[in-house]
Amino acid sequence: MRLFLILIPIFSLSAVFSAFASDTDDVAGRVIANVAGTSYNLPMLDSKISVNIEGDMATVEVTQSFINEAHVPVEAEYLFPLNQLAAVYSMDMLIGDEVIKAKIREKAVAEAEFEKAAQDGKAAALLTQHRPNMFTQRIANLVPGLPITVTLRYVQMVPKIDGQHELVIPLIVGPRYESAAVQLPDEDSEEVPMTANSWTISDVPAYPQVVGLDLPDTFTSERVALDLTLTGGVSISDFGSDTHQLAVQSTEDGLSAKFAKGKVLDNRDLVIRFTLGGEALEAASLSHTDERGGFVSLMIEPPAVPDAATITPRELVFVLDTSGSMRGQPMEASKRFMDAALRGMRPTDYFRIIPFANHTQNFSSVSKQAIARNIRSARAYVDQLSTGGGTEIDNAIRTAFSTAQPENTMKIVVFLSDGYIGGEAQVLRTIRQQIGKSRIYAFGVGTSVNRYLLDAMADEGRGYARYVGVDEDAYEVAETLAADLKSPLLTDISIDWGDLDVTDVTPSRLPDLFAGNSLRIYARHSGTGAAEVTLKGLVQGRQAAMPVKLTLTDNAENAALPLIWARNRIASLTRQIAVGEQPEAADKEITQLGLEFSLQTQNTSFVAVSEQTVNTSGHQATLANVPLPMVSGVSKEAYPQPFAGSSSPEPQAIIGFLLIAAMTLLGFRRRVR
């Protein structure tokens, strides 16, 4: 009651919120809440990404600096992405002169240590994984004038896609649509049922305030810096990015790159592509041995033969996302893609079109042959499509497999979406149950799409995923990709390991290979010295094989390989859980791997706790989210209610900020969760 009475004069003074950046501050992301003429800073964020690429392996360091200029301590919470392939193996926290190396713990233990530190007034940092590409960083007792810096380190292989190596560094988490059919947890629970059985997965976290949506637009754009080096060991060419302007310089061993403007706004993913010359990586193998045993990696590329698409009739099932998040540029790029794909079909092909949002539609109830009049009708149908509603992907996938395909064709489901959903597991389970001999090609449309989901869909469908960025070149890219709906060159891949004793091969389900792509396979092994394995598969239905000679080392070369193997093994186990294959055993093994290899997983978390007590104010810290910018090119309809559809704060948002500001003003003691 006392709080309510105090808030009355605040409302009567017509409190408003504004956000602005100080020209003199190096740390960006400042958002200031003004209440009754008094200003209170929400947490600020400054990020630096350091990348070292050697051949096709990348080591990345992400440094996040948080500053609190309010009058009382706060607990900062920051929602951010990492690459879904990232093996996060280290976290440090710096506060003042104290450097704390984070420890890997089981998730519940880490959370308990963090909460205890928060209650004791100590600085602490807790990293939580919600999805392989979605994390939150919590900072306890971020006190005024004492910055806290957290540094994460991870390694990953850089995949080869369409003839070039492609490194994706996600910079922002897009919003996630949760189906109304999902059973919501109790208010105090952090888990939701995944299926009718007892297995559970982590819920998608609440989305933080969005600048330009529920906060005004005056938000500083300098939040992320880049420092990249690339040493190929062979010639490097075609290095660049279509998503960001880079300042590139040649070095003695390769090249270096930074953002051309120094820092950028974290509202789109950074995508870097480059070509490594020579034959060094075409049949590359890596090995490493330490006290944990031996680890080996093989890279497979398909043979140079004509594309089987020239002889194989296809049924192309286009599943087109028309939900609210696709409004504007994403939908226009999707229509451009569809127009080019329809025009590029051959008369021997068949096709269906399934637009979906809350409900699915159909261009026709059965497949149409790709003759001129049907294509004209289909192009007109796509052109009149509009956007709106939620993203019920699972229903659309079921509809795609609901009809029998024409005889003697290969069914290819072409999926166009930003992937902004929280129920990834159910979608993957549906695909595993219904895919049969079909293929799925996933095309992500947007500047910060859910690559974890779309890549996983393509893997389950033994196809491939490609991405269309929403920028001035999006239409050209869409047309290029649509014209290249190729068929796999190498299918039914297997490995004869010969006399080599291997276990825990990953990926457990080997995908098909397409022209210009490569596949890395990882395994644990015992023994050293020379070995020979044989790669097998089908090329246009004919048996093919290639022997590969290995030299298994007993030294510490390729020290990152065990981490990358473990991360890929965890990815396979996570997929097992999603599709319901022995989920209890898979979950237990994920925890064991996280602890053994010191890796962040859905079951293990890094936690760092300072020795010193920094919060001596007598006030418990108040929760304050680090605000995010809107994802570039994404409609306001993509964001959760009540904030969608207006650039000014909704009443609920205003009340929430008033509560934070009032608690800051009054030194409110109760910790807000």
Question: Could you please report the per-residue DSSP string of 568-595?
Answer: HHHHHHHHHHHHTSSHHHHHHHHHHHHH
Q: Give me 361's structure tokens.
A: 């539609």
Torsion sign over Cα 239, 243, 249, 253:
negative
Strands 314-321 and 410-417: parallel
Strand, helix or coil for residue 627: coil
Segment (H or E) for 479: helix 474-482
**In the predicted structure, residue 473 carries a pLDDT above the cut 80:** no
**In the predicted structure, residue 299 carries a pLDDT above the cut 70:** yes
Give me the pLDDT at residue 2, please.
36
Residue predicted with more confidence, 592 or 301: 592
Give me the pLDDT at residue 183, please.
39
Q: What are phi and psi of 120, to 5 degrees?
A: -85, 0
- Average pLDDT rounded to a whole number, residues 437-463: 89
Q: Name the band, by pLDDT with cuts 50, 70 and 90, for residue 672.
A: very low
User: Is 425 exposed, middle or buried, given 0-12, 13-18 or 19+ CB atoms closer than 10 A?
Assistant: buried
Q: Name the band, by pLDDT with cuts 50, 70 and 90, for residue 588.
A: very high
**In the predicted structure, residue 398 carries a pLDDT above the cut 60:** yes
Strands 314-321 and 350-356: parallel
CB atoms near residue 599 (< 10 Å): 23
Most confident of 82-96, 204-218, 230-244: 82-96
Residue predicted with more confidence, 154 or 145: 154
* Residues 6+ positions from 230 with CB-CB distance below 8 Å: 53, 236, 239, 254, 255, 256, 257, 274
Give me the pLDDT at residue 579, please.
85
Give me the pLDDT at residue 659, please.
39
Q: Name the band, by pLDDT with cuts 50, 70 and 90, for residue 538.
A: confident
**In the predicted structure, residue 654 carries a pLDDT above the cut 70:** no
Give me the pLDDT at residue 235, please.
84
**In the predicted structure, residue 575 carries a pLDDT above the cut 60:** yes
Residue 176 contacts residue 631 (beta carbons within 8 Å) = no
Question: Which of 216-230, 299-313, 658-672 bottoms out in mean pLDDT, i.e. has the lowest?
Answer: 658-672
Residue predicted with more confidence, 100 or 2: 100
* Residues 6+ positions from 625 with CB-CB distance below 8 Å: 42, 43, 76, 77, 78, 79, 208, 209
- Average pLDDT rounded to a whole number, residues 573-596: 93
- Average pLDDT rounded to a whole number, residues 445-455: 88
SS3 content of the chain, % helix, strand, coil (to 5): 20, 35, 40
Give me the pLDDT at residue 204, please.
63
* pLDDT over 70 percentage in the chain: 78
Cα separation, 451 vs 453, in Å, equals 5
- Average pLDDT rounded to a whole number, residues 107-121: 96
Residue 418 contacts residue 322 (beta carbons within 8 Å) = no
- Average pLDDT rounded to a whole number, residues 231-257: 90
**Biggest CA-to-CA distance, the chain:** 80
**In the predicted structure, residue 670 carries a pLDDT above the cut 50:** no
User: What is the signed CA dihedral for 331, 332, 337, 341, rounded to 10 degrees?
Assistant: 100
**In the predicted structure, residue 631 carries a pLDDT above the cut 50:** yes
Residue 583 contacts residue 199 (beta carbons within 8 Å) = yes
Give me the pLDDT at residue 63, please.
95
278 sits in the region (left: phi over 0; alpha: psi -120 to 50; else beta) called left
Q: Give me 150's structure tokens.
A: 């957290």
| Average pLDDT over the chain, rounded to an integer | 79
**Which residue in 507, 522, 519 sits closest to 297, CA to CA?**
522
**In the predicted structure, residue 151 carries a pLDDT above the cut 60:** yes
Give me the pLDDT at residue 177, please.
67
**Which residue in 357, 267, 375 sits closest to 320, CA to CA?**
357
Question: Which of 149-163, 187-201, 246-260, 441-455 bottoms out in mean pLDDT, i.e. has the lowest?
Answer: 187-201
* pLDDT over 90 percentage in the chain: 40
Give me the pLDDT at residue 178, please.
64
Give me the pLDDT at residue 346, please.
87
- Average pLDDT rounded to a whole number, residues 244-258: 94
Which DSSP category does 56 fall into? Answer: T
* Residues 6+ positions from 479 with CB-CB distance below 8 Å: 336, 337, 339, 340
**In the predicted structure, residue 190 carries a pLDDT above the cut 60:** no
**In the predicted structure, residue 277 carries a pLDDT above the cut 80:** no
Residue 28 contacts residue 45 (beta carbons within 8 Å) = yes
Task: Give the predicted TM-score (pTM) of the model.
Answer: 0.81
Residue predicted with more confidence, 379 or 306: 379
Question: Which of 449-463, 518-532, 652-666 bottoms out in mean pLDDT, i.e. has the lowest?
Answer: 652-666
Cα separation, 232 vs 54, in Å, equals 6
